Structure 1
Amino acid sequence: MSKQPPYPETLGDITYAALRPTLDVFVVTWIGDSPLSRAIRHFAPGGSHTSIGLRLYGSLFLAEAMIDGFVLSRASRRFHAYDGEILIHPLDLTPDQAEAAKQLALNLISARLGYGFRTLLALAWRTVRMTMRRPVCSQAGTYILVEAGVIPPQFTVLSPGGLRFLLPRPWRLAPYSKEGDR
């Protein structure tokens, strides 16, 4: 008997230049090979980081919980600098859901939340109740998607892999270079 993979397979590899025009609000699952990424995947397989992608004024940005807090950065810069697997989950949202997700993400950025270091450590040993005082990446992403009505309510913090399981099948981003954007 063959064992089923725990996550939906990808839709295939695609370049950022080909995928970019089709995206409005999306989720990025990052699968890194750094010691921290491997540790996160050891305790919660399926991904090591989560970002929410947003089209704002014609450009794509990523809203994500980082060491500096919840920040906004250009998607192309993050993709170019990353050495690991990048999965992009396109979301089929209503205009109201897309607008709500964008507003929620921008509100979190303006709230200047700190990073949830304690939450990250606690997740290795136990479940953690969902709050937004100092979120980790998947916690902030889950909050945005729940409040925008995209996924059902979650009462505990999901890992990046746990959130990935609730999302549509992703595209695997082909190796990215800025030259490919032209």
Structure 2
Amino acid sequence: MEQTSGIAQYVAEKLKVELGEGEALPFSVERRSFEKGTVLTDFGQRESSVYFILSGTIITSLQFREEERILDFHFAPSFCASLSSLLTQTPSDTRLTCYQACEVEIIHYAELKASYRTSLLANQLGRVATEGLFLERVKREKDLLTKTAEERYRSLLDKNPTLVQKIPVKELSKYLGIRPESLSRIRRGWNS
């Protein structure tokens, strides 16, 4: 099993575990590059992988009343997956799409799940990564319920200012849950 830099570095930082020379992660990791617009997991598809983003951005979207809504932007370095589909092994109600060209490390869920039976490190990584995704989701829900659109936009800017400037108003407004005109007004207000 091959050690790769992104997930191995995540393990070192989050779990405080350094893999020694010749040591490998308890599951294989596949490194792949995808072009902008590539759908990693589509609506109705059963999620079979966990993605660790090395570069680029992935969006999670949901179909709602004939309209696609953006649930989240995932930036490097982080994990992403259609989590409910992955955990329940049911068809996904979300879509994962490469918003930019991406380089990712892929862990196949069947292999990860098998490694849970024999590896404390795999269990710890699975728990920490899932907790991180859960906490991001809770923060997003709280933000939607308690913050104004302008405050949510500011939070996104704080998270990744360079990329947010490159995302079209239409896409950002889908994520913020507002009309594109409202976001344009917010941006104009800041620039004046």
TM-score by length of 2: 0.31
**Structure whose residues are more often helix by fraction:** 2
TM-score by length of 1: 0.33
Flag the structure with larger Rg. 2
